[in-house]
Amino acid sequence: MNTTKYPAILTRRDLKKDAPEVLERKISALLRAMTTEEKLSLLGGAKEPEGKGKIGNAGYQWGIPRLGVPEVVMYDGPAGITGIVETTGLPCPALLGSTWDDSLAYAFGKIAATECAACSGNFLLAPQLDVIRSPHFYRNKDMKSEDSYLCARMGAAEVKGVQENGVVATVKHFTAANLFGDDLSHFPGQLVDEQTLHETYCRPFEAAVGAGAGSVMNAYNKINGNFVSANRELLQGILREQWGFSGSVMSDWGSVHEFALDKGLDLEMPFPAFHSADRVKKRLESGALSLQTLDGAVRHILAGMASVGLLGLVELDESGEIRVEPGRTAPI
């Protein structure tokens, strides 16, 4: 086993976007090197390590420090970043949308990304690409427009502004999230025909995936009888098969209602409940869940990180295997 010593801190100089063929070898080698416990640890959020201090972030993951995979620190959006530190008070996205200016959307994303990174963040839970449909929805201010084409153009530009400045854009809430009113406790569902689903609600997300978004967050609601967090048609059929999305699918906080690792959900936030280590292990042991499905979810999570170079520290030796720092437990 070839060994190395990974640094204590990931800096911008360490961000390295690998060529597709190099990334494929790197992720495959990581999957070979990971223990089952390490793979399971990536399926949900985690408690931050002692001594990290309060930074007001929204979510956290330890990473796999002995293999060079850094911690993940998430900040909420969508108007800049939400935390306990002083940041730029960007205008609400609805005002941004009213400009019809792609360059301003890119600048909006760039500001949010650079301030997210300055606060030790590397995932931004934004932009919000829902399409305004009801004047009563309390998050209309966080959306850009009632026009799906405008949302797609502005959203794609904002995604580029985030991703090109070293932070993973997590586009939300996939999809038709604003049809259920202002009371999240009831989670009502709705029937959406195929044409409306694709042309209105999915259009901005498809553009965001094309612009390089590394992560997609599911909506709380049901569509055509199934919660989006466990909706195979959306998460596997549309996102993966039709659009070729390779990054991570993340749950909105508390939006998971059943085991969904085999239905297209990769990461349960803020903590794994339905995807806890014990539940996943039992399914693996019984044969209800395949190792291939588990590895697929971990691959998506790693690919999402790699979309901005967060696997730049990971080293391959001459035989194509991961260099390991034995005994390393402190997150990078």
Query: What is the pLDDT, as a whole number, of residue 327?
Result: 94
- Torsion sign, CA atoms 113, 117, 119, 123: positive
Query: Is-catalytic flag, 182?
Result: no
What are the tokens at 191?
């029937």
Per-residue pLDDT of 26-55, as tens digits, reads 999 999 999 999 999 999 999 998 877 788
Instruction: Output the tens digit of pLDDT for each of the chain's 332 residues.
Output: 689 999 999 999 999 999 999 999 999 999 999 999 999 999 999 999 887 778 889 999 999 999 999 999 999 999 999 988 889 999 999 999 999 999 999 999 999 999 999 999 999 999 999 999 888 777 889 999 999 999 999 999 999 999 999 999 999 999 988 765 555 545 566 789 999 999 999 999 999 999 999 999 999 888 888 899 999 999 999 999 999 999 999 999 999 999 999 999 999 999 999 999 999 999 999 999 999 999 999 999 999 999 999 999 999 999 999 999 999 999 99
What pLDDT is recorded for position 186?
53
Residue 308's nearest CA partner among 160, 107, 115, 156 is 160
Q: Which long-range contacts (CB under 8 A, 24 or more apart) does 101-105 make?
A: 102/153, 102/154, 102/157, 103/157, 105/153, 105/154, 105/155, 105/157, 105/158, 105/161
Structure tokens at 1: 């086993």
- From the list 14, 252, 266, 295, the catalytic residue is 252
From the CB of residue 230, how many other CB atoms can be counted at a distance below 10 Å? 23
Cβ atoms of residues 265 and 228 within 8 Å: no
Sign of the Cα torsion 244, 246, 252, 256 reads positive
Q: What pLDDT, in 10s, does the model give residues 67-98? A: 999 999 999 999 999 988 889 999 999 999 99
Closest-CA residue to 173 (of 134, 215, 210, 138): 215
Q: Quick one: pLDDT at residue 191?
A: 84
Model pTM greater than 0.85? yes
